[in-house]
Structure 1
């Protein structure tokens, strides 16, 4: 691997490890702490007050590192879409986090407003991308392309809105979202390298380095949470990367843990509204296992392993 890739990863990792110890006490001082929802597991009440918005670091650090090491990467249309997807969804998350911190509850942005903002970005990125690429998708293994026409708009819309929300729902246990996100990003780094999309590969490695540095402070017991700032940003990044690399179908598999979490909420809400009964002890899915008696760290490790299996299978199908 070229030295520039290692530099991008290493610089982001080191910068994050240096910034986090300064940021955490600062957030404590200005009382930017998490408000844990009362409906959640009782054991989580101890996490109230833990600093949030840690996602700011792993969003801004990779962009800074790329600007220093390879600023020309930001001049290509593909990279502009990826970077603005990362920043755009981070901004939605930041607004949500800021309102939560100010109000000292978990309301934040109204769900309808948050979804509207996510939808607007999805539409913008669809039109931006279709100016430079075709509305086709690649069928894994079969080495076929399929022209979707207008259906491609629907696919991209759901990719961005669902992926960002799914990653957001996964951010519920110490280290869960950061770890599964690192695992999910890895196949796209390899896809980018295989397609000689070196700028995207370098950026994803920079993000991975920053995420790994953040994870050092987010593993149990977490000293900081990423907040919606981080989780929505990662969802936007994964969706944009899959779109640029023409791996839209494999995003569903590689992000399998996120899909599981999202589906668990949909199933739970649908079942309760239709029958008055719950399918899971609590949703998202990770809480179901927690309330079943599993330790938080064991649930996280189990989900990391499941995520790794999804990522390996997705990568394998993508390179066949």
Structure 2
């Protein structure tokens, strides 16, 4: 019976996204919510200017409805569900405000980094306070060893670093058609397996609801994309991915399962540091997916390669935890 609930969550969110997209995408186009492509990006991306953005609203909507319906039917709406929805909606709102400023106010950089950071920290702190009231374990488990260490009050900055860092990492990765939709679906499915292994069924239902929404979105976001998720989607996805790792006590495994997002972020850090210190660039362009494009890889080849890497990271993470 429970297995049916997990499958229903995946299918319902997938179908909702597929069915609402043909209506929602033209609506975004009529509102002129088109993506502005920065001049510093690859020249081949300039043709994407005007492609509807804020498609993350469809992902959030489908995952939200599927979670409420399926979790409410099979397991009940737990504290974990409400916190996941809080982070998804809160981070999604920050992303929406960022996208809105970009496409409506015609400020290509959207919210300032300080504004986004403050919003992310406040939401993360609220999550920590609620978790503290529910008897949150502040232990960190080393994957594959069974070793653990209680970090006590340091768990607060850890949660902030995880949620803020992962949301920004997913945001940086969202630069090619289908890249985040595919790698995100893989990562959320992996965490659904880990949640099921620890019998956190509501978390597993939510994870598969997000995975299903991403797969449905991928139908319209695969190259050539008819819609982009924007910061609305990427910030929300990164935030809840990190929170799922907190619930499943796989905080360190997040680094592995989200390996693609980590690599993308490190490439930006390395590029900026190298240019400031040495006045030289390591990559042709960062994040690193643009580097591969500029070496001659097609956009689709880069995406498929990163999907394969994401799948390898996810399988390794599951093996370390379950195997």
Q: TM-score range by the shorter chain?
A: over 0.9
Whether the 8 Å CA contact 2:91–2:235 is kept in 1: the answer is yes
Displacement of 1:228: 0.3
Cross-structure match for 2:55: 54
1:159 aligns with 2:162: yes
Aligned with 1:89 (options 64, 88, 91): 91
* Cross-structure match for 1:128: 130
Instruction: Note the C-alpha offset of 1:67.
Output: 2.2
Instruction: Tell me which residue corresponds to 1:307.
Output: 310
Paired residues of 2:170 and 2:238 also in contact (CA < 8 A): yes
Partner of residue 204, structure 1:
207
Q: Which moved more, 1:113-122 or 1:219-228?
A: 113-122
Q: Secondary structure at the match of 1:306?
A: helix
Q: Which consecutive segments of 4 or more residues in structure 1 shift more than 4 A?
A: none
Deviation at 1:120, TM superposition (A): 1.4
Q: 2:70 is matched with which residue?
A: 69
Which residue number corresponds to residue 18 of structure 2? 17
* Partner SS for 1:146: strand
Q: Distance in 2 between the 1:74 and 1:119 partners?
A: 29
* Match for residue 217 of structure 1 among 203, 216, 220: 220
The worse-fitting range, judged by mean Cα deviation, of 12-21 and 60-69 is: 60-69
Q: 1:307, 1:11 → 2: CA distance?
A: 24
Classify the secondary structure of the residue corresponding to 1:130: helix
**Which residue of structure 2 lines up, in the alignment, with residue 266 of structure 1?**
269
Distance in 1 between the 2:297 and 2:215 partners?
25
Q: How does 1:237-276 map to 2 (within 5 A)?
A: 237-276=240-279
Distance apart, 1:284 and its partner CA: 0.5
Q: Give the number of equivalent residue pairs.
A: 320
In 1, Cα distance between the equivalents of 2:122 and 2:143? 29
Q: Distance in 2 between matches of 1:305 and 1:233?
A: 23
Report the equivalent of 1:5: 6
What is the CA-CA distance between 1:105 and the residue it aligns to?
4.0
Query: What is the Cα deviation at residue 194 of structure 1?
Result: 1.0
In 2, are the aligned partners of 1:74 and 1:80 still within 8 Å (CA)?
no
Q: Does the aligned pair in 1 maintain the 2:186–2:211 contact within 8 Å? A: no
Compared with structure 1, are the counterparts of its residues 31 and 79 closer, same or farther at alpha carbon in structure 2 (3 Å cutoff)? same
Separation in 2, partners of 1:105, 1:221: 25
How far the C-alpha of 1:64 sits from its partner, in A, is 1.2
Q: Tell me, yes or no, if the aligned pair for 2:54 and 2:99 is still in contact at 8 Å.
A: yes
The one of 265, 275, 297 equivalent to 1:294 is 297
- The TM-score with structure 1 as length reference comes to 0.97
The secondary structure found in structure 2 opposite 1:103 is coil
Hey, what does 2:112 align to over in structure 1? 110
Looking at structure 1, the residues matched to 164 and 227 of structure 2 have their Cα atoms a distance apart, in angstroms, of 25
2: distance between equivalents of 1:38 and 1:281?
A: 15
Which ranges in structure 2 are unaligned for 5 or more consecutive residues? none
- Given that 1:35 and 1:106 are in contact with CA atoms closer than 8 Å, whether structure 2 keeps it comes out as yes
Gaps of 5+ in 1: none
